Structure 1
């Protein structure tokens, strides 16, 4: 199993909307960055990810699971764009802010810190464990 982080602006797609989809989940569509798309190509069923609210909140607010591997993105006619499907697993008891992540020396190499604009990014097992604990899990 691998770990990931998925960023979304809460006014475009929020954690509450993701939760409301239940076990059906939702396509992680609209990604138009080749590196982010390539990361989705690496995902397998059951991989876990942090759901991160960008813009206003700037915090990890939940955990999602990959429920469908890479397939054509239904929001594009260009076959170059693909996506995965995600379902909500659980909310973070305590959202983990970007400021708190940046304050942790062990997270200095995290993609969220080094490549903050990338909407889909890998998370190492060690980084996952640290943020998981910071979030109260």
Structure 2
């Protein structure tokens, strides 16, 4: 019986480890209900939409919530306590764009369909 529990715990550990790259890294380990962003596939709030709760960071947008959002975000809306930083490259590199709370950005200008990583923050 002891070996059964050991096997189950090992399986759970392997499962959690394999899923870890799909989870946001949150710091300091809590969420703020006013910190969220709705990202849209196309400008003008069209196409697929996904909500990201913060504070959280996503070093890559590949496989985000079951879909590849890499170089796909065309518009977004931020919550009342949310600052979003979009980065042109993965791992928070290259050009960035900061968007503050309560913003409805129907177009992202030179970052339209360019973001490869994102930070969802509850402070400027």
TM-score, with length taken from structure 2: 0.27
Q: Which protein is bigger by CA-based radius of gyration?
A: 2
Greater percentage in helix: 1
